[in-house]
């Protein structure tokens, strides 16, 4: 069952106007919220980021946090599977095609997809990534549904048989096409600082909290392209992929070419943290 503009219905019954500004202009924002054991993970953080995205595009939030929490709970209840990924999408609504903001209600859509744990083989071996120049706009902190640059950047990874495209802007690492990136250099875990040039990942925050709690030596600072290419370890994070080791970059091995010691440690911390959440 999906949620569309106040109603729950099977996805086959759901339709929106071709004049929806999401369709016409890509004028909207979204969130992806993982659900473990039927409990949304870090919901408050996702709702906070949603508010930031809505503020960024000057769209009024149609619901309070309590209302969102209740509606998301209903989507979870109406769908099978203990682990789900809730996709939440808000556009500026349906209006005659014209750039200025119309005075119409927004379109609000939510659906649930099964959330599968990363394949053991990928955890064991790591994944390949390629690099590309970050040619997106400079408000990458807004989780905009206008994802054409991300789609094109991700496809070049797929074409190269890789799992992710790591983006570089003006000589510095920003993030992946659909993930945040961490690097280990001289045994120090490095994370790029939040800015308008990257999405503030919820998993990125979890990881930084876990490394602080567990006294893993780390620095949040700009990471140069050279540091990326000479890194001992590279890892990616996202709500749906959790944490994965990048073991090949542009067809060259990263470090030893196998997931490194720091990745293994962080992966374990993450699984422990998830287990705590599931126990409530």
Binding site residues, ligand PMP, CB under 6 A:
32, 150, 175, 178-180, 199, 201-204, 237-239
Please identify, using beta-carbon distances, which residue of 199 and 249 lies nearer to ligand PMP: 199
- Among left, alpha and beta (phi > 0; psi -120 to 50; other), residue 230 is alpha
| 3-state secondary structure at position 156 | helix
Q: How far is the CB of 104 from ligand PMP (least distance, A)?
A: 27
Q: What's the sign of the alpha-carbon dihedral 16, 17, 20, 24?
A: positive
Tell the smallest beta-carbon distance from residue 46 to ligand PMP (Å).
7
Are 214 and 206 a contacting pair, CB within 8 Å?
A: no
Q: Which is nearer to ligand PMP, 112 or 239 (CB)?
A: 239
Does the annotation count 274 as an active-site position? Answer: no
> What is the residue whose two structure tokens read 């010691």?
261
Interaxial angle between packed helices 65-77 and 43-56, expressed in degrees from 0 to 180 and rounded to the nearest 10: 120
Distance CA 101, CA 139 (A): 19
For ligand PMP, the closer CB: 91 or 203: 203
Residue 168 near residue 109, CB atoms below 8 Å: no
Angle at 99 between CA 143 and CA 155, to 5 degrees: 40
| Minimum distance of ligand PMP from residue 162's CB (angstroms) | 16
> Both tokens of residue 201?
């990942």
Q: Report, in Å, the least distance between residue 166 CB and ligand PMP.
A: 11
Q: Give the nearer residue to ligand PMP in terms of CB position, either 81 or 200.
A: 200
Among candidate residues 13, 45, 96, 143, the one labeled active-site is: 143
Catalytic residues: 143
């Amino acid at each position: 069952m999906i949620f569309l503009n106040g109603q729950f219905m099977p996805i086959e019954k759901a339709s929106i106007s071709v004049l929806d500004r999401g369709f016409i202009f890509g004028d909207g924002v979204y969130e992806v919220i993982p659900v473990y054991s039927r409990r949304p993970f870090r919901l408050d953080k996702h709702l906070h980021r949603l508010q930031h995205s809505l503020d960024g595009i000057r769209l009024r939030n149609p619901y309070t946090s309590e209302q969102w929490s209740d509606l998301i709970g209903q989507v979870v209840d109406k769908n099978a599977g203990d682990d789900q990924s809730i996709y939440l999408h808000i556009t500026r609504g349906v209006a005659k095609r014209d750039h200025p903001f119309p005075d119409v209600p927004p379109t609000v859509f939510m659906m649930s997809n099964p959330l599968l744990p990363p394949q053991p083989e990928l955890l064991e071996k790591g994944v390949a990534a390629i690099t590309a120049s970050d040619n997106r706009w400079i408000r990458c902190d807004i989780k905009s549904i206008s994802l054409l640059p991300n789609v094109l950047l991700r496809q070049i990874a797929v074409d190269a048989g890789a799992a992710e495209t790591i983006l570089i802007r003006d000589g510095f690492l920003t993030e992946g096409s659909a993930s945040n990136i961490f690097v280990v250099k001289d045994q120090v875990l490095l994370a790029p600082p939040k800015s308008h040039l990257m999405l503030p990942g919820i998993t990125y925050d979890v990881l930084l909290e876990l490394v602080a709690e567990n006294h893993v030596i780390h620095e949040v600072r700009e990471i140069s392209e050279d540091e990326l290419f000479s890194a001992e370890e590279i890892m990616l994070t996202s709500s749906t992929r959790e944490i994965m080791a990048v073991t090949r970059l542009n067809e060259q091995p990263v470090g030893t070419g196998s997931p490194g010691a720091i990745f293994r440690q962080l992966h374990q911390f993450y699984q422990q943290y998830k287990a705590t959440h599931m126990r409530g």
